[in-house]
Structures are given as structure tokens and as C-alpha cells.
Amino acid sequence: MPSVAELSQHVKVLHEILNYHNHRYYVLDDPEIPDNEYDKLFRQLEDIEKDYPELITLDSPTQRVGGKVLDNFEQVTHQMPMLSLSNAFSSEEIEEFLQRIDDLLEHNEFAIVAEPKLDGLAISLRYENGLLVQAATRGDGQTGENVTQNVRTIQSIPLRLRGLNYPKILEVRGEVFMPKKGFTKLNELQINKGDKAFANPRNAAAGCLRQLDSKIAASRPLDMFCYSIGVVEQTHPDEAIKDSHRQILKQLQSWGFAVSPEVKRLSSWQESIEYYDSILARRSELPYEIDGVVYKVDNIAQQGKAGFISRAPRWAIAHKFPAEEVMTRLLNIDVQVGRTGALTPVARLEPVFVAGVTVTNATLHNQDEIDRKDVRIADMVIVRRAGDVIPEVVKPVLSERPEQSIPYSMPDHCPICDSLAERINDEAKSRCTGGLYCPAQRKEAIKHFASRKAMDIDGLGDKLVEQLVDTELIHDISDLFHLNDIHLVSMERMGDKSAENLIKAIEKSKKTTLARFLYSLGIREVGEATALSLANYFKTLDLIKTSQSEVVQEVPDVGPVVGHNIETFFSQPHNEEVINKLIASGIHWPEIIAKESNELPLAGKVIVLTGSLSLLNRNEAKARLIELGAKVSGSVSKKTDLVIAGEKAGSKLKKAEEFNIEIMDEAGMMALFESN
């Protein structure tokens, strides 16, 4: 056990750290560490203060809710303070919350209303005689900043209340936020201008509200959902303001405010947990960032009965989601070599739990990205994983940067084969120039060749390919067909049975299609769809091999780059040799019978694909339609014969309806492919 003197020292250190981050977060709008890291430190201090109340000082960060206000904006004292929300991090804490309310309300029945917790900024709007006269940030709850000019530019906020039955004075409270799409666009603009990107939509929204030039603020996509009211002065006593939270929200909507579409009435703990789970499951689909859900007692009289503790109502609580941003150590940067020689820097991280999974690696993309973020080996970094998105390193925490740290540079030689690595034609990535001399590139080429959509060799996993190349049992893809079970059983984790199965799978893969074979060769930019178009157009490998780029470009969807790649690939003697060996070992495919184009089932039909498909990707669908004789067009016109509409189809589908064009869903398209 530490002594009280030691604890007192520790409390001082915590004050300093928390004050530093508080200032970054509240005053500068530029937090350095994720909220949950801050919360952890804050809880640590709270815990000590709970056990040793004598250590609580007036300047403790726990004794104030919020921070100082910058003096570039006029200060506004809230006539009615803006309360804060207590947080819960588990379903048990929600159970306790509901139990507490049940006690406070003396076991009378009560309803709970749930809504998502938007990750934006709380704000108060003041309307006098129906006109917006002032908008103020929450600040510390007592005093905020006058941001009226900027708020007036938010389209979803009424400058005059709709209808007539509004009070003489009305304060509306809610959350200002930046939708995800607008955020992405804004950051693209920032980067193109050479300005710093915002770390997340919340910071971007804060930056906009704090913008001294309201013209700049006007160009930025802010939005607001309202969730409560402050001061209300009635004109007539019979205009009674509504007596439940839900009625207030309805009333606010009628006055022209946006309210979350996810608001829901709940009647049990079970239902609140279901609500939490369902919103969490949809988190990444929602067009704005949320960091939890909020539960509130619906009835206003019951809210009054439950009362407050310090500055937070006892009738409301936020159930927070697991953090999407966490802090961890960047242990090292490894460089991976891809099939085409592209070098990709990969961050090796101290394992960290983020948004529900443990993350140990994150791509750093390329040198420019590393420079832009200035991430260095041994930095503490912020790692973000939103929804199913691949984890990414957001930025380093500069105040924790080790001394003597140096900027990171990608190696100028391939880390695997030591060939020169070059950046050509403004490409973002540098490439190993070793070609098939480079074992890494060969391994990737073989993995690609064997993959499901290529030759589909079952049982030839990545680890096995690596062993086979490392032990020099195989050198290129053609050697796969000379493997025997004696070779195979000498590999790690390879028994007689699996060796036998693999040999069978290799044998079976020899019977393939021209499209698969072309795809499996790994020609740059020749994906499945292009391979299928090439096969259907030329029908024989010989024709493809001998065609010049200009001829290849006659194939639908083949441009000069792909044309060039194909011509160059087949002009290399090494590739010619490998292909000959493959054919000699028995790879074959059925002849593609040349159908007269007007005999094809979709001959001459103009088809438009729209919306998102779930069973095929867009290019595959397109290639198969073309194969059946259709012309695939990008826009709907009177000449369109058929529109295939996937999920969330928008304006093209509408236009098709207007023009009375035949519409088919994805299932219909699949049935069409099936029957042909």
C-alpha cells in the first residue's frame, strides 16, 4: 500500500496530466489522446479521492465539469445551466441506474426513452418571439461561447420557429455534429490545400463552430439533432409545455428542429440492452458518429422527482460503446512485398483491444502517408478501428515521443531480395525491381495462382507456399505440377493424407477455364472481370498472346494501361516459357464456341447497373452481362432496356421508373445468369 504522502504526490501528477489534456480538449479543440484514455486517468483520480476525501482540492479536475473558454469569442452565461450526463460502461451499470430510479420514484411505474449519443458538441439555441437570437456552446455548463454567426449557417437549424404556438422565450438544446460523408470530403479538401486533416468528425465540428470567419463555417457541413429544452417563458399559461420527453421532442420537431430518428420508448432493462445492441450493430452504417446511447426517464414530473447530483441529472445516463480509438505503442515498421513488388509499410503494434477486437498490425500505406502523419518507430500512436474497417494509425502522441526519435524512411532496397526499390511515375508506392528474382514476389504470385478465384487449388495455403519456395522445391507456378507426395510430406504439418489430397487438388485444377487461367497469371490490373472479357473476346490464348496493345483495347473495358500490361507480359520470354510448361503439364480448358453475337440472349440490350450488389461485385456482373451480349451503360436514358437495381439504388432507379423501363433486382439477375 502506498502511503498517504505518496498518494498525495500521485494525485498532483494526475492533476497535471489531466489539466494538460483538458486544455488540449476543451480550449484548443485538439485532443491528443483518445477520450477513453482520459476517462481512465479521470477514474483513477476519482477512485483515490473517494477513498481519501482529504486529498480533494478545489483545483482538482474532478471538481469542475468542463474547461476554460477562449477569449476570441464573447462569453455567454447560460441562464439555465447545461447539465452533464453520467456515463455507464456496462449493462450492470444500466441495471443499477434503473434500480436507482425505481427507488427514487418509490416503485411507481416509469418509462424510459432511448436515443443514440451523438459524438458532437452540445449547444443551446435561444429564440425570442420565434427568432434565433443567440447560439452558445455548452462550455463548462455555466458559461459557453457565443457562436451565433456560425450556427446561423447550419441549414438544419431554423432561423425562425415554424408554426405559431411557440413560447415568448425558448431555449433549445442539442448536439451539433458533422456527418461522416461531409467529414471525409472536408478532409480531402484540407489535404489538397496542404492543410492539416481533422482527426475525427467531432474535432472537425468543433473547429467549424470555433471558426472566426463564418463564411468558412458556412462552407462546412454541420448538422444538429435536438434533445431537450432550457429556459421557457410562456406567452399564455395554457400553452403548457409538454409533460414528457417524447412530447417535447415532437413539439421541437413541429417547430422545425431535427430530432434523432432513432428515439425509442422502452419499458425494461432487457429492452434497453436490446436497444444498445441493435444501435451498436448499426453504428458503422449510421451517417454520423455516435459513441453510445442515452437513456432518459420520459415523464417530466418523474424527472423532477429523481433530481440531480452535482451537475448531472439522476434521471439520465449514457451507455457508452467500446472505444473506436485507443492508444498503443508502435513497436516497429515492417515492409511487406506484394505480388507486383509494391512495398507496403506495416505498423507492428503492441496488442491493443479496439472496438471489440485485438489489433497488432495496421497498414501505413506508403511513405507519403507516413510523412503526412509523422509516425515514427517507438511512438505512442492513436489506433482507430471503426466498424468493420481495417485498423489505421491516426497520429502519434507527440507529448509522449521518445527523445532522439527520427523520421521514418522506407528502405531504398527490397527487404527480401535486396534489389533496388524505385518509385516510378508518381506512384504512391515504391516497388522492388527484382521481379521474379524476388522470392517475396514469387511467393505472392504462386499464392495468387492457387487462390479460389484463380486455379482454385484447395489445400495449398500461404504457409505451405512459403515453405515450398524457401526450400526451393518450387521456383515458379509451373513447378507446382511436378510436386509429388515425397516432396510434400517433408513439409511442416503435412501428413500423408493431406499430401495426397493436395496432389489430387493440383491434378483437379488442371481442368479450368481460359478466363481463370488468364486471371491466375497475375498480369497487373487484369482482375477477374477483365480476364473474363478477354477470354470471351479472343476465345483462344494464342490470339491474346499475339495481340498488340491496340487490338487488346478493342475489348470492352480495356484501356491503354491494361493493354500495355498485357502486351508486355506476353512479350517476356520468361512468361512464355512458364506458360508453355503449364500447358505441357496438362492445363486445359473447354473451347469457347463462337456464338454469333445476335444469337446471344441479351444481344443488343442496353442495361444499366445501379445500387450495391451483395452476391457479385459490379465488375463481375458487368462482365457476365457483356458475355450474354448486353451493352452495359452508366446512365439511364430512353434507350435503356433494363435497369438492374441492387440495394440502396437511388436516382437511376427513380429515372427508370419515370421512363417506364423494366427493372430487375439482384436475385433476378442471378436467375438470368443461372438460366444462361
Are the C-beta atoms of 396 and 374 separated by less than 8 Å? yes
Phi, psi of 74 (to 5 degrees): -65, 140
Among 76, 118, 205, 534, binds ligand D41 (CB under 6 A): 118
Q: 103 near 317, Cβ under 8 Å?
A: no
Between residue 226 and residue 265, which ones bind ligand D41 under the rule CB under 6 A? Answer: 227-228
Residue 223 contacts ligand D41 per CB under 6 A: no
Site for ligand D41, residues 264 to 323, rule: CB under 6 A: 294, 296, 313, 316
Closer to ligand D41 at the Cβ: 228 or 430? 228
The residue among 322 and 527 lying less far from ligand D41, judged by its C-beta, is 322
Burial of 597 (0-12, 13-18, 19+ CB in 10 A): exposed
Q: In what order do the strands lie in the sheet with 290-297?
A: 87-88, 316-320, 290-297, 112-118, 264-266
CB of 288: closest distance to ligand D41 in angstroms?
10
Q: Which stretch binds ligand D41 (CB under 6 A): 71-79, 113-121, 410-418, 511-519?
A: 113-121
C-alpha 137/C-alpha 141 separation (Å) is 9
Min. distance of Cβ 231 from ligand D41 in angstroms? Answer: 14
Q: Are 38 and 46 in contact (CB under 8 A)?
A: no
Examine residue 132 and tell whether it contacts ligand D41 (CB under 6 A).
Answer: no
Beta bridge partners of 272: none
State the Cα–Cα distance between residues 526 and 517, nearest whole angstrom: 11
Minimum distance, C-beta of residue 244 to ligand D41, in the bound complex (Å): 14
Contact of 490 with 539, CB cutoff 8 Å: no
Active site annotation includes 429 = no
Nearer to ligand D41, 61 or 434 (CB): 61
Residue 390: DSSP 8-state: P
CB of 306 or CB of 382, closer to ligand D41: 306
Residue nearer to ligand D41 on the CB measure, 138 or 516? 138
Binding of ligand D41 at residue 199 (CB under 6 A)?
no
Residue 86 C-beta: closest distance to ligand D41, Å:
10
What are the residues facing 396 on neighbouring strands?
381
Q: Considering only 116-124, 159-167, 337-345, 661-669, which stretch makes contact with ligand D41 by CB under 6 A?
A: 116-124
Provide the 8-state DSSP code for 511: B
Point out which span in 115-123, 393-401, 475-483, 521-529 binds ligand D41 (CB under 6 A): 115-123
Q: How many other CB atoms are there within 10 angstroms of residue 404's CB atom?
A: 6
State how far the alpha carbon of 334 is from the alpha carbons of 108, 466, 470, in Å.
62, 18, 20
Site map for ligand D41, 9-48, x if CB under 6 A? ----------------------------------------
Per-residue DSSP letter, 24: I
Cβ 138 to ligand D41 shortest distance, Å: 6
Q: Which is nearer to ligand D41, 121 or 535 (CB)?
A: 121
Which residues neighbour 66 within 8 Å (Cβ) at sequence distance 6 or greater? 26, 138, 139, 140, 141
- Which residue in this structure is represented by grid cell 515450398? 468
Given the complex with ligand D41, which of 290 and 370 has the nearer CB atom?
290
Smallest gap from Cβ 248 to ligand D41, in A, equals 10
Give the 3-state secondary structure of residue 261: coil
* Rounded CA separation 224/217 (Å): 14
* Catalytic residue of the set 12, 40, 117, 463: 117
CB of 79 to ligand D41, least distance (A): 15
> Taking a C-beta distance cutoff of 8 angstroms, is the pair 315, 244 a contact?
no
Task: Determine if 83 is a binding residue for ligand D41 (CB under 6 A).
Answer: yes
Quick one: CA torsion of 40, 46, 50, 53, rounded to 10 degrees? 150
CA nearest neighbour of 137 among 63, 78, 178 = 78
Decide: 18 and 60 in contact? Cβ < 8 Å.
Answer: no
Q: Which is nearer to ligand D41, 316 or 523 (CB)?
A: 316
The smaller minimum CB distance to ligand D41, of residues 41 and 85, is found at 85
CA-CA distance, 141 to 203, in Å (whole number)?
19
| Site membership for ligand D41, residue 85 (CB under 6 A) | yes
Minimum separation from the CB atom of position 22 to ligand D41 (A): 15
Return the range that interacts with ligand D41 (CB under 6 A); candidates 4-12, 112-120, 335-343, 473-481: 112-120
Count of residues interacting with ligand D41 (CB under 6 A): 15
The reply on whether position 122 binds ligand D41 by CB under 6 A is yes
Q: In whole angstroms, what is the distance from residue 365 CA to residue 353 CA?
A: 22
Residues paired with 413 in a beta bridge: 420
Write out the binding residues for ligand D41, residues 589-628 only, by CB under 6 A.
Answer: none
DSSP sequence for 417-458: T--BEE--TT-SS-EETTGGGSHHHHHHHHHHHHSTTTT--T
Tell me the closest approach of the beta carbon of residue 450 to ligand D41, in angstroms.
50
Q: How far is the CB of 48 from ligand D41 (least distance, A)?
A: 25
Q: Could you tell me which stretch among 42-50, 83-91, 235-243, 662-670 binds ligand D41 (CB under 6 A)? A: 83-91
Q: Which of residues 32, 175, 567, 666 is near ligand D41 by CB under 6 A?
A: 175
Give the residue, chosen from 32, 49, 115, 392, that forms a contact with ligand D41 under the rule CB under 6 A: 115
Length of the chain, please?
Answer: 676
Pick the stretch among 114-122, 251-259, 347-355, 454-462 that binds ligand D41 (CB under 6 A).
114-122
Paired sense of beta strands 87-88 and 316-320, if any:
parallel
Does residue number 117 form part of the binding site for ligand D41 (CB under 6 A)? yes
Q: Footprint of ligand D41 on this chain (CB under 6 A)?
A: 83-85, 115, 117-118, 122, 138, 175, 227-228, 294, 296, 313, 316
Residues catalogued as catalytic:
117
